[in-house]
Structures are given as structure tokens and as C-alpha cells.
Amino acid sequence: MAAWYPLKLSFHVRSYAFGERLIPEKLGKQDLPEGIIAETWEVSDYQDTSGTVLNGHLAGKALREIVQKSPEELVGRGWQGPHFPLLLKFLDASHQLPIHLHADDETAERKYGEPNGKTEAWHILWAVPGASILVGIKPGVSDEELFKAFKAQDYESVMMRYPIAPGDTVYVPGGILHTFGPDTLIFEVQQTSDLSQAVMPADVYGVPYTESVWDANIRETLDELRRHYQPKPTGGLAVEEGVNKRVICAAGPHFALERWTLSTTHLEATHPRRCTTLSNLGDRVRLEYEGGTEVLERAESCILPAAIGEVRIIPETGGDLIACYLPDLERDIIKPLRDAWFSEEEIRQLGEVER
């Protein structure tokens, strides 16, 4: 295959009832249809939403095809899998999301016959003052009490509420009940899955369920509910790199999420064991690699394949990027943060870093 380069992909739009127009209005994302834009799936290889490459000699090929043909060159040396492991999205919670959870890996395989569940992390891009999330179950609440609360739509009595602000990140494992909104815009990284169970009286498009279907959905949600982890917002851990700043926002066995603030060129070293995704929150940046240059505009995303080699990321003014990757937790997260004198407790707050 010809030399590897930053892969820019087509994105997938979802028009769930909780969205409005925050993605074009706050992020400046272009080429969106009229009407509700609840989510744009920036990098996706989930079933029929697998993105198509838009640039370079691989233009027109589906991400799934590239994953199957060149898994180690794209994702990382020694990696094998049925699909690209990360799904990235911008998500508009102009209205509160349904209260829901996603299957964990064990449930996904046992109950749905899928290769993995959906652990995710939300990075808050914009929120009104006073915005908050409901996430996790209060200690000591029984399934019977949960069922009654969900039927009464009294979620506050059984779930934990936390304030959020731009720059916060929330790590949410599969099986953990959650919601956020209204008036919140996030970037989300997750495992490649769309399995979901909700306790609401209507679906994501606002169509009411019958009483029997609503009851059955609540019972299915309780069957998949996990209580092993209590998510909380965190501001991340900042590592200065000269005049540039890198904030490690979330980390676990399935992904790491970082936010980079660049005042000058950033050299992204060769990572043959992992690819990196970049999502641009600010002004245009140039990506220089062996063999060429690519431009990443505001609200665009790309994949830096594992085999690409070094990449120079050059901001035209200031750079504001989110980077996601499959970490070796000891090498990529724990050791660098220990070396920067962060405590074990501070590191644990990033997610499931001890697994």
C-alpha cells in the first residue's frame, strides 16, 4: 500500500429529539442539513455508519474495508478486531437526553451476540452556568425502589447529580445509568457500539411507548445495570510541554482522551502500536507527515494511522484539539503522570486506569 496519511472521513448525522443546532452554531461545523442535528458521528465504523475516506489515495473506501485489510498499519501493531475500536461524536444536548445505559462487554456478548459493549467519556465543550448531569445510582437503592422511581419519573431521588462546566470530562463505563442536558454540548469518545437501554416513557424521537413496553424497557435496563463505578466530573491532569499544554482528561482500557492547546508546532512522535484520532475545536491546523501535508479545519476530525510515522501539527493561530487513542495504561498514562508528580488518587479519577 502507498504511504499512510491522515484519513478524513465522511460523518453520520442523527436527529434525535434532544438536539437542536448547537453543533453548527457553537462549533461552526459545515455541510450540515437543516433541522435538528443531535449528533455527528465524526469517526465511526459501527454497522452501516462506517465512514468513507474523503482524501488521498484511499478516497472512496469504507473505514471497515481498511480495518479488515490493514488492521496493524491502521490501528496498531498486534491489534486485531472486527471494526475500528473507537467511535467519536459531537453531541448536542439542547434538551435532556433520555436516562439510559449501555451494555458492558460481558452483557453485549452474552445478551446481544456483539463483540463489545459501550464504555464512553464525555468532554464538555459548552454548557450554560448551572448545567449538571445525572449519573450513577445512589448507594443502597434497591431495584424495586428504582422501578418505582422510574415509573414516577422521579430520577433525582435515586441518581447522583453533579455540576459541570466547559473543560470537564466524565468517564462512564458500560452498565452505568446516565443523562446530561439541557443546554450542553459535548465531545464523546466511546467503544464502537450503539447498544442502549432506557427507562423513559418515550423513545429518542419523543414517540411514547405503551405502558407494557415502558415497563419491559425498565426491567431490561435493571438487568443490565452495574453499580461498580461512580462517575464524577474531573478537570483532567495538565502536562506542560514548553508553551503547549496537554490535558489528560479520561483514560481506561478502551480509550484515552486528551485535549491539546497549541501555541506552536507540536511533534507527534511515531506510535507503531496505536493510532491517534484528532478532532479540531479551533482554527485550522496543518498536519505535516512524510510525503505530504493535510489541513484539518474547525470541527473536522481525522485518524492518524499507526504506520504514519511522525506528524508535525502546526496551528495557524492557536491550536485546540482533542486526541483519542487506545492506551497502554502503564506506559501512556500512569507512568507519565507519576513522573509529573500527580498522586495515585488524582490518576484514578481519570477513569478505570487500574485494570
pLDDT digits (tens, 9 = 90+) for 70-125: 999 999 999 999 999 999 999 999 999 999 999 999 999 999 999 999 999 999 99
Residue at 84 is within a domain: yes
- Tell me the backbone φ, ψ of residue 212, rounded to 5 degrees: -70, -40
User: Is 87 in a helix, a strand, or coil?
Assistant: strand
For residue 204, give its domain range: 12-224
User: Crossing angle for the helix pair 143-151 and 211-224, nearest 10 degrees?
Assistant: 140
Query: What residue ranges of the chain have pLDDT lower than 50?
Result: none
Closest by alpha carbon to 26, among 299, 264, 270? Answer: 299
Identify the pLDDT of residue 240.
83
Is the peptide bond preceding residue 182 cis, with omega within 30 degrees of 0?
Answer: yes
Residue at 318 is within a domain: yes
- Residue 242: CB atoms within 10 Å: 9
Please count the structural domains in the chain. Answer: 2
Whether residue 59 sits in one domain with residue 33: yes
Q: CATH number, domain at 251?
A: 2.60.120.10
pTM of this structure: 0.97
Whether residue 262 sits in one domain with residue 172: no
Residue at 6 is within a domain: no
Whether residue 151 sits in one domain with residue 17: yes
Where b means 16+ CB within 10 Å and e means fewer, 103-130 reads bbbebbeeeeebebbbbbbbbbbbbeee
* pLDDT tens figures, 313-329: 999 999 999 999 999 99
